[in-house]
Amino acid sequence: MAHGKVYAAVAAVAALLSVPAAAHSWYPPWCCSDHDCRELTEAKGEIVTESLEGWTLWDGRVIARRTARSSPDMKFHLCEEPMSKAIVCFFAPPGAT
pLDDT in tens, 17-55: 333 444 567 888 888 765 789 999 999 999 999 988 899
Annotated domain spans of the chain: 26-92
Q: What is the mean pLDDT of the chain?
A: 77
Q: Indicate whether this model's pTM tops 0.85.
A: no
Helix (H) or strand (E) holding 93: none
Kindly tell me if the per-residue pLDDT of 13 is higher than 50: no
In angstroms, the CA 6 to CA 46 distance is: 41
**In sequence order, what DSSP letters do the residues of 25-73 get, joined into one string?**
TTS-TTTGGGSSEEE--GGGT--EEE-SSEEEETTS-EEETTT-EE-TT
What's the whole-number mean pLDDT along residues 50-72? 92
The count of other CB atoms within 10 Å of the CB of residue 88 is 15
Q: Coil, strand, or helix at residue 79?
A: strand
